[in-house]
Structure 1
Amino acid sequence: MSGDTEDDHTDSSHDELGDEIDTDISTMSAVLGDTYRGELDRETTWRSRLDQTTTWSVTVMAAILTWAFSSGNNPHYIILIAVLVVTTFLMIEARRYRDYDVYRSRVRLIQQNLIADALDPSGELEHEDWRRKLSNDYRTPTVKITLVEALRNRLRRIYLALLLILLLAWVFRITAFATGDGFLTVANVGSLSGVIVTGVVGVFYSIVLIVSLWPREREAMGEFRDGDVGDWKET
């Protein structure tokens, strides 16, 4: 019985604390201010991790391409290895992007519904129940986007261009150093015929293009895109 009484008293204290914060505008403002700064710091940290992954991808790709074209004796398939390495970095960055989007969505929720409304109270709230949404997200944190959405975002931003550069470099490397043999003959990798190698490369890049260009409603929150700049003209 004493344990039940103690639990009831604890729950009551928590309820009272929440009610006090909710009714005290100065306390609520301080809590939300600290919350916003904390989430913004987390968003910035994960943004820097995304940049690090991209930097490593570009650095490794540049090093491999430099070595691949430094001599005609160097095998062409080293560029295909670069494709695998860049794809690995793409998967890592997509996973990081999903974590980054969690904190970005919280920051945007506060910006859209608290800061924007404070600057212009005459405007409509983006989400009427934004405090409940934010509360639920803190109680049960969940990722907001799928892995496919994250891959599509990172491909469109940077990785599709990197992979296409590698594809063009691979084709040029084979044709530039060919000694009269056909493309499919020079494209051999060990015991694998050029037909198989070219087919695998074709299937891979077809999947990449489908993921990148397939039209679908965006799930990620708060990312700038064309038409989101707003109206800055005085009326």
Structure 2
Amino acid sequence: MAEPSEEFDPESPEEREVAGEAAGDRTDFLSLMGHAYRGELGRATAWRTRIDRTTNWAVVLTASLLTWAFSGSSRPHYILLLGVVMVTVFLGIETRRYRVYDIWRSRVRILEENVFANALDSEGVEQTNWRELLSEDLRKPAVKTPIVEAVSRRLQRVYFALFSVLFGAWLVRLTVFAETPAGLIETAAIGQLPGIVVSVGVGCYYAIVLVLTVWPKSRQAKGELRSRPDTEEWR
């Protein structure tokens, strides 16, 4: 192999700013954007898989608890409330993963909106300063989705249904499958904890879940699939 005519000097200004030359060359720049898009898409896909894995755990746990809770009349009703606690833990894990996933997804959406969409139909970019936005995010990556919004999104997609099933099964377990003719409030007691306390606590928790599911209305996360109000198409 032939020896290079010049040794590589990492301190040389030309070498330090070699990537900056791509900004002035259209061919090099578009090639670089293609590689960047594949890299960010790979990261987003990996974190999307982690989110799906947590969802699978929550669904399997819910199904297992329902099967066990209704497999015999002597099963305690509070096992379903323990399931609510465990699903809440999974919701917390998935919320954190979703916020990290949105870092990569937001970059993918910037490239899709301003590079690939404009290449297919050159009506103009969505964000005139998209290069500055992407450059700043690459230099200083940060979580963009507020935690309340992340919780709300995961509740809307999966966890509100799981909570509703668990709470509904708990009510059925207290009424239809109750071993004693006592009222709903009395049957809800757990050990020395009065049934009224348990019932109020469950009701308040479900109310909080419902509020978080429908609020907030304004969204900061980019790229979330949702149906258009006038058509059935996806954006």
Same fold (TM over 0.5): yes
Deviation at 1:18, TM superposition (A): 3.6
**Does 2:51 match 1:50?**
yes
The CA deviation at 1:13 is: 3.7
**How far apart in 1 are the matches of 2:84 and 2:106?**
32
Runs of 4+ in 1 over 6 A off after TM superposition: 228-232
Identity of aligned residues (%): 44
* 2-structure distance, mates of 1:107, 1:187: 49
User: 1:88-118 deviations in whole A, cap 9, x for unaligned?
Assistant: 1111111100011111100000000000111
Structure 1 unpaired stretches of 5+: 1-5
Deviations 1:27-79 (A, max 9, x none): 21221111100111111111111111111101011111111001111100000
- The aligned residue for residue 110 of structure 1 is 111
Determine the C-alpha separation between the residues in 2 that align with 1:70 and 1:160: 25
Query: Structure 1 CA distance, aligned partners of 2:94 and 2:119?
Result: 35
| 1:230–1:46 CA distance, 2 compared to 1 (3 A) | farther
- 1:184 CA displacement: 1.1
CA-CA distance at 1:228 after TM superposition? 8.1
Could you tell me how far apart the structure 2 residues matched to 1:114 and 1:124 are?
A: 10
Which residue does 2:222 correspond to in 1? 221
Match of residue 3 from structure 1: none
Per-residue displacement from partner, 1:192-229 (whole Å, max 9, x unpaired)? 01000011111111111111112421111011212189
Distance 1:107 1:228 in 2: 24
So what's the TM-score if we normalise by structure 2?
0.90
Once the two structures are overlaid, the 10-residue window that deviates more, 23-32 or 81-90, is 23-32
Unpaired segments of 5 or more residues in structure 2?
A: 1-8
Q: State the partner residue of 1:182.
A: 183
* CA–CA separation in structure 1 for the residues paired with 2:50 and 2:210: 25
Correspondence list, 1:1-235, <5 A:
10-11=12-13, 13-15=15-17, 17-121=18-122, 123-178=123-178, 179-227=180-228
Structure number with higher helix proportion: 1
> Which residue type is aligned with residue 135 of structure 1?
S
Instruction: Provide the C-alpha distance between the structure 1 equivalents of 2:136 and 2:56, rounded to a whole number of angstroms.
Output: 35
Separation in structure 1 between the aligned mates of residue 49 and residue 88 of structure 2, nearest angstrom: 19
Check conservation: 2:149, 2:216, Cα contact below 8 A: no
Alpha carbons of structure 1 residues 225 and 203: separation in structure 2 relative to 1, 3 Å: same
Question: Which amino acid counterpart does residue 124 of structure 1 have in structure 2?
Answer: G
Say how many residue pairs are matched: 224
CA distance in 1, matches of 2:223, 2:172: 40
Going from structure 1 to structure 2, the CA distance change for 1:228 and 1:20 (only over 3 Å counts) comes to farther
Q: TM-score, normalised by structure 1?
A: 0.90
Q: Deviation string for 1:147-178 (max 9, x for gaps)?
A: 11000000011110110011100000010222
Residue 230 of structure 1 and its aligned partner are, at CA, apart by 8.2
Determine helix, strand or coil for the equivalent of 1:204: helix
Structure 1 equivalent of residue 5 of structure 2:
none
**2:61–2:83 Cα contact (<8 Å) kept:** yes
- How far has the Cα of 1:22 moved from its partner? 1.1
Mapped partners of 1:19, 1:88: distance in 2? 45
